[in-house]
Amino acid sequence: MDKMIMTPGPTEINEEVRMAMAKPITNPDLDLEFYEFYKDTTEKVQKLLNTKNDALILSGEGILGLEAACASLIEPGDRVLCIDNGIFGRGFGDFVNMYGGDCEYLSLDYRNPVDISKLEKFLEEDNDFKMATFVHCETPSGILNPAKEISRLLKKHNILTVMDAVSSVGGEPVDVDDWNVDIALGGSQKVLSAPPGITFLTVSDDAWDAMDNREAPIVGMYCNLTIWRGWYDKKWFPYTQPISDIYAFNKALEISLNDGEKYHRHEKIASATRNAIINSGLELYPNGGYSNTLTALCVPKGLDDKKIRKHLVDKYKIMIAGAFAALDGKVLRIGHMGENCREEKVYKTLKYLDKTFREFNVDLKSKIHEEFVKNLD
């Protein structure tokens, strides 16, 4: 491709992953060897997320997992707590309402991670919820929430936990069992740097019990997680699997699991990027709780983010992201996750972002890419 895609997902794909997609396919419904391959892939998911909970791979982009969790757990009238400190955190509420839940928002500052003391105080006053939803990494704002503390606090009140970890898995440590997360959700196209089209998730015994003991039937089929019960023993899939995508996803998981430096590398490059932004006179969007998989910076005053991004891709062949909804026009986002988490790629991105800003007459204190190099040590 003639463009460098430095967005917070989809990311560049490793060549081994791309080649895995080219493997000859079989009939995944009839070939018993594919059931073993699928099982191996779910076991890799379990290992990456540090869990013994069941793992599933669904055919659909990461949003499918968010909807499936809500569709499978929520019955009409169920009270659901939606922890809202970002666009995706609040977006969970749309699915809660869609499936008849009674959604209660705990709305917090969008420029800071979830304040555990505020959540604790809220739950002391009201904890009569069947489940709660929250986001580990808020991709639109670049904020990492304290998932362990959030989930443990919710479980203390016997509230089922649903965690969106789509933009964190593989770049930030995730420990589903230690944190007591009932449903953890991920997507193939983010840090794992596989093609878009796969949702993966883990389901605890408590979550399965809640689904099995519903009074109202689950609405729909594709988002009904219970149709997967016993898939391996029965050698039966609810629908034909996207076999080439799963070949690629398995290889991406293998690469991630064999990369013992991945968390250190994400932390090092993210820190250097943030410091480069600050030292050059620009402003980060988050006030704290920074994600190591992407950096969100404020659009310089008086500039149009779309024009900046268009200039960057048209002239320098580098694609970064803006945002949407409440953050539309307010931030620029650089993805340094997975295959994009490489010093040379981030250096080049910052070099040409620096040039672009100067061509838009932004007064920078120093060169962004030079500050990046200084802060790698």
The Cα–Cα gap between 3 and 267 comes to 25
Q: Please spell the DSSP secondary structure of 198-237, one letter per residue.
A: EEEEEE-HHHHHHHHT-SSPPS-STT-GGGGTTHHHHT--
Write out the DSSP string of 307-337. HHHHHHHHHH-EE-B---GGGTTTEEEEE--
Q: What is the mean pLDDT of residues 340-354?
A: 98
Q: Where are the domain boundaries for CATH 3.40.640.10 in the chain?
A: 15-257
- Residue 4 DSSP one-character state: E
Position 54 scores a pLDDT of 98
Cα–Cα distance measured from residue 165 to residue 169, given in angstroms and rounded to the nearest whole number: 6
Alpha-carbon Rg of the chain, whole angstroms?
Answer: 21
Q: Examine the pLDDT at 304 and tell me if it is beyond 60.
A: yes
Question: Six-digit token pair at 325?
Answer: 């909804």
Mean pLDDT (the chain, rounded)? 97
pLDDT band with cut points at 50, 70 and 90 for residue 377: confident
User: Does the predicted TM-score (pTM) go above 0.85?
Assistant: yes
Cβ neighbours of 337 (radius 10 Å): 31
Tell me the CATH number for domain 261-374. 3.90.1150.10
The mean pLDDT value for 247-259 works out to: 98
CATH 3.40.630.10 holds for 15-257: no
> CATH 3.90.1150.10 residue ranges in the chain?
261-374
Per-residue pLDDT, 143: 98
For 147-172, what is each residue's pLDDT tens digit?
Answer: 999 999 999 999 999 999 999 999 99
What pairing do the DSSP bridges indicate for beta strands 4-5 and 79-84? unpaired
Question: Quick check: 364 pLDDT over 90?
Answer: yes
pLDDT of residue 133: 98
Q: Is the pLDDT reported for residue 199 higher than 80?
A: yes
